[in-house]
A and B are shown apart, each in its own frame.
Chain A
Amino acid sequence: MLIYIVYILQPLLILLLAPLFMGILGKVKACFRGYTGPSVFQVYYDIAKLMKKDEVISKSSSFVTTIGPLFTLVAAVSCTFIIPVFYTSLAFSFGNIFVIIFTLGIIKFITSLIGLDSASTFGGMGSSRELFISMLAEPIMFVVITFLFIETKSFNIFTIAYANSTQLSFGPGHVLAALAFFILLLAENARMPVDNPETHLELTMVHEAMILDLSGKRLAYIELASAIKFVLFLTILINGFLPYGIATGLNLLTMGTAIILFIIKLIGCLIVIAVIETTMAKFRLFRVPELLTFAFALGIVSIIINHYA
């Protein structure tokens, strides 16, 4: 009976806390840059405001702009159901890592179509660059999943988290794979070195350009979906690579400590990302393939080290 509560609690946790973590990230970046910046709950206020506002839809947009954003949010939310946050066990028969990655792929697919749909130059440019970058990111994902498969002999994210949580010492391959996945995370979620999420400067934005034309409720859906996607990637990173302390038994105490540990680790990651975002400048588009091939090389090296060493 408790298991069903956990089934519901895990996705709920991510759904509710995703905007909070974005707020925390904004706050951390602000204090690095020396100004107090908006409050941690600012993202909640934005989404609430957008939900209430009227909408303007461009006359050349099709069903992709009207229904699309809803589907992106649906994809993001349904992904949260099959990812371990604080509890994992071998009993989960679903949760294949490919399904997670490809469902998150729906968001990318639909946002790039929305970009093209509004018949504006910026939308086309944004979706072309987004797809270009994510195309180069695919092999890294493949290699990271292979590494995890070598380590834990399964594709199911729950069993991966379970196997890694019992393991205490991690070899060098593990660290390299985590680093590769981290770079993949930055590329997929349009974080700083690949694309600047805050700016609306026409020639630099990638992710923002696609949803330039949206407003009101639809913009809120997309914002929420990308926030959830970002946090989901982070959870995969945390629970896939350093799931120390994740609850494997059903008693309340371990789950409580697991939640707290998860939040601490997440904030740690956010701090690292904030450091990267404030120190690094955005790469030129044709330097991004070099970064991603570097990550791919890391992945390959991790497999070789793990397998043959």
Chain B
Amino acid sequence: MLETILEVLLIVTILMTGFRRIKLFIYAFAVQSLCIALICFYLAYTTGENSLYSVGVMTIFMKVILTSGLIKRVSKSLKENREKEFIIGGLLSYVLCIAGIIITYGLLADFGPPFLKVGVVLMIVGSILLVGRKEAITQMIGFLTIENGIVLLEIYMVKMSLIIEAGLMLEVVILAIIMGTMIFNINREFDTINTDTFSNTKR
């Protein structure tokens, strides 16, 4: 059962590196968070760790519903609805993503459970999006993917009390809200969210 969730998660993440339309990014992000929630439930069920149940519920509520809704509302007011040209071309980002996967599975082969490796892959894809795309909203989604990767990492490695888990989740959501409002400001000020218009501070 866990393998199927991980396969869905991996497929969605790899697809994400190639997307252009922002709507697709939002759906992919929602599916990712859902899969993470399911992994939490599955782990809670198998290891009897009841704090993971609450983590799963929180991820669903905070990430899947709240954040995706927020990003959708922000993207509605934008003029462009898709990435026109990439800094790292579509083909190259796929190649990088594959290389990342190979390296993570090679290095961490005997280290931890499979979903740890998927978490690292999530982080790599997130950084590709962050570095390779021009639109501000895509950078935001790239950043949130990295946060999802960290959540996966954290589930395995750390037995923390509930408050800390809630705190981390809350931080990520607040960050998403702030980035949303900022994108809204950028759109109003520059009336485009393409970060090329930014680079006017050479010195």
Indicate yes or no for A touching B, C-beta below 8 A: no
Contacts from A to B (Cβ < 8 Å) = none
Which chain B residues have a beta carbon within 8 Å of chain A's beta carbons? Answer: none
